[in-house]
Structure 1
């Protein structure tokens, strides 16, 4: 087996892109010039929501390795929640505004695919609805 360098991976359109987000999360990405990506997210020391958004053409597949997450989904103006624990997964179709709440100590894998175009649009109206939603890991509330 031959180990490839980041420079060699770039020849195939694959690039590492890593960030510490404003909320403290660590995100380690492998992106491809086709628009697909893999993201390993390590939660911040404190639980919290990410930023609400929608992908018009891409699909997102979430896999929880450790801890728990809550997906907030806005479907036809109705807000629903889905809690995922270790080994749970969920496929998001294009066009569904959503947000993810990560509990402390969570490890999340995300695969995005389906379009080469930049495909992330903010959903501030969902952020506003979620501003006061919190989860303690034991209580899961729906409306």
Structure 2
């Protein structure tokens, strides 16, 4: 069965390939809908807000993940389980982005636009890493 409702952003794949991007998109969307408290420790979110957040999160994960986490009804528990499962990717992204940045050479590309595309992709990974570190720092202060 396919999702008939339009996704606000790409659903989290079973492999977790774009987990970090998914996390940032999900946090932004939950924040925009005043549901960001539902994924924080010791939150005071209402039952309705938790239900809305669960609907949103389940709508934006792969069908196989939905099946695996079928019995979970609390968005914080789902968020934590997904984090435990995929958060290790941060340790892969930074070293790979650093390596690619160091080895980025114009002569390896057929066009300037190809070079620019690679440069912006690598830069966005490095910026993503910095944002993740800042978010972690803020969460530790609030804990």
TM-score (norm 1): 0.21
Relative to the length of structure 2, the TM-score reads 0.21
Structure with higher RCO (Cα < 8 A, 6+ apart):
1
Higher helix content, 1 or 2:
2
Larger Rg belongs to: 2
**Larger proportion of strand:** 1
